[in-house]
Every structure is written in C-alpha cells, then in structure tokens.
Amino acid sequence: MKVTIYDIAKEAGVSIATVSKVINRGGRISEKTRNKVIKIMDELNYQPSVVASALTGKQTYTLGLLLPDLANPFFAEIARSIEDRAQEMGFNVVICSTDNSLDKEERYISLLKQKSVDGIIIATGVRNDALLKELVRQKLPVALIARDMPAVAVDIVLVDDFQGGYLATSYLIQNGHKQIAVIAEDTEVMSSKERIRGYRHALEEAGIPFNPELVRISDFSVKSGKIAAGELLQGLKACTAVFACNDLLAIGTIQAAREMKLSIPDDLSVVGFDNTILATIVDPPLTTIAQPIQDMGAQVVNMILRHINGGHTMNQRMVLPPELVIRSSVSRPRK
C-alpha cells in the first residue's frame, strides 16, 4: 500500500502531528526529530497526499484553464506559457477546450469546481458574463487572459488590442496603402472590436475615409479566413492590403490570394496578429503583430496566485504592449 503519514510516524517513533509539522515546516520541532523524520520520509519514499491535505481546507495546487481549442497554435502557446509558470510555482494545470460552446464551458467549470481547483484561468470567449460572475460570487479565483470583459471584476492580462490594430494599419499606411481591408473573427469579442478601432484610428489619422465594405467578419480558422478573403477580393479589386485579426485568418487570406493568382506581397499585402509559429512558416513569412505570450502567461498565473494566496487584493488589469514583427508579407502597393 501507499505509505502514509502514520507509517512515517510509527517508524520515526513520533506522532503524526509531528510529522505533519515537519512536512509543513510549521511549529517548533527540534532539529533532531526533524532530521529523523525527514530521513525516514525519504527512506520510505513518502509523498504526502494532496487529496487528503486538500480535504482539510488546504489547496489542491491545481489550476483550471479554459480555452477555445488547444489545437489552435495561439492557444497552445498560451497554455504552454501558463503551464510553465504554474509548474514553477508548484501548480498543475488542467486543460479544458471549450470550442467556445457555452455548454462545454459550463460542464468544465462544474467539473473543476467539484475538484476544488484553486483557481480558473479563462482564455475563452465566455459570451455570458453570468457564468463568470457566478464564479466570482462563489469566491473562486478567476483570471482572464487575452480576453477582455470590462463588466466583471476579475484579474485580466491582455495585449493592447487597440494599439495592435493601430500598429498594423499604420504600417500598411506607411507603406503607401490606402485601400486596406480588415478581417476579424467576430465583432462580439472585445479584442476584435478594439483591433478594429485601432484600425479606424490609424485610417483617420492618415485622413483615409473609413469604408465599411472593407471590414469582414468570419470565425477563426484558416478556412473561414480564406472564404472571407475570397469574397472580399472578388468584390473589391481596389483593395491592396488586408489586416487580418489573427494569423490563421491572415494565412487564409494568403491562400485565397494565391488561388486568385495574386502575388503576395506585390499584389496584396497582409499583416496578421498573434505571431504564432505559423507566421514564420507561411510563405511569404507573415508580418504580424506579436503578443507577448510568454509574459502574458506568466503574469496571469502570478495574478491568480496572488489572489489565491493573498485573499482579495484589488482586481488588476494588465495591458501589455503589442509589437510589430516585420517579415515579408507587406510591400508598397503596385502602381
């Protein structure tokens, strides 16, 4: 059988309370007994049961992570960065791909609660703040990453989406483009809204009139990006550049362009968003707006741990700057 605290206590000739104290480095214990206990512990290869300790009100050292789809490189990278930091802090993370389905979100959250995770990090769209608010009400530590949700009081880490949209668009403008389209994944989502707002701001600043025909909505996948871009390019020969609100969509538009025998960047410039591994792999390499994924991941777990340990600190909102990564998918428009 598994070795328990009783085995250690008996073997060491002390009480379980003593053993518990040396485990938790609490209470006053003589060097002597402490050493003896420690010795026995690793002689017997003892590993305290987190389950038992959790039952007495301690932590489970487990975090839940809700995201739309682990197979999406952006979220895989986010997950990895979170996992890394969590691991450093002695936490594990359980992954929950929701496919943006409210149903799955609910089921996962319910499961996570039953398992008494110490906190939940959310990277999903969470359409209805109701779910979220409920979590907050129940005092379950929650933190959002890469998703805004102004109406709810939780910790948040995200990139400055407005700034990102602005950077992307400005860069295109600097390169001489005037007919610039946007493809966004969904206008419901705050980040899309903000990126588009940044886009419009750049346009405005440059005195370029905003043309609603040039903004397209799709969901997020290469395929739908391709479709959206196809429609766009079909209708408007005039457009010389597109700002795709994520790399997947950017790649879709590259593919659509290629199918229409448009060369990139000569016939069409495109800039993406996220700077996932995909951006380095497409041809041409994608100029894109980088999110500081490593940093964001580390920060959310810092935040949520602070919340878990420290109690109710104020809800933080950390907005990190995006960065333009120039590769080869943008050039000056053809005359």
Partner DNA sequence: CTGAAAGCGCTAACAG
Partner DNA sequence: CTGTTAGCGCTTTCAG
| 1 is a site residue for DNA (CB under 7 A) | yes
Asked if residues 200 and 259 have their Cβ atoms less than 8 Å apart, the reply is: no
| 2 is a site residue for DNA (CB under 7 A) | yes
Q: How far is the CB of 87 from its own copies (least distance, A)?
A: 8
Q: How far is the CB of 57 from its own copies (least distance, A)?
A: 10
| 116 is a site residue for its own copies (CB under 8 A) | yes
Query: What residues are paired with 64 via a beta bridge?
Result: 94, 120
Both structure tokens of 310: 């420290």
Burial class (CB in 10 A: 0-12, 13-18, 19+), 133: middle
For the CA atoms of 69, 72, 73, 76, the dihedral, rounded to the nearest 10 degrees, stands at 10
Q: Is the sign of the CA dihedral 256, 257, 260, 264 positive or negative?
A: negative
Asked if residues 179 and 214 have their Cβ atoms less than 8 Å apart, the reply is: yes
Q: List the one residue from 3, 70, 102, 236 that touches its own copies (CB under 8 A).
A: 70
Q: How far is the CB of 309 from DNA (least distance, A)?
A: 13
Residue 136, sorted as left (phi over 0), alpha (psi -120 to 50) or beta, turns out to be: alpha
Q: How far is the CB of 301 from DNA (least distance, A)?
A: 22
Asked if residues 80 and 295 have their Cβ atoms less than 8 Å apart, the reply is: no
| 130 is a site residue for DNA (CB under 7 A) | no
| 260 is a site residue for its own copies (CB under 8 A) | no
The secondary element (H helix, E strand) that includes residue 44 is: none
| 136 is a site residue for its own copies (CB under 8 A) | no
| 25 is a site residue for DNA (CB under 7 A) | no
| 277 is a site residue for its own copies (CB under 8 A) | yes
| 283 is a site residue for its own copies (CB under 8 A) | yes
List residues near its own copies by CB under 8 A.
47-52, 54-55, 60-62, 69-71, 73, 76-77, 79-80, 83-84, 87, 90, 92-97, 104, 107-108, 110-116, 222, 251, 258, 277-278, 280-283
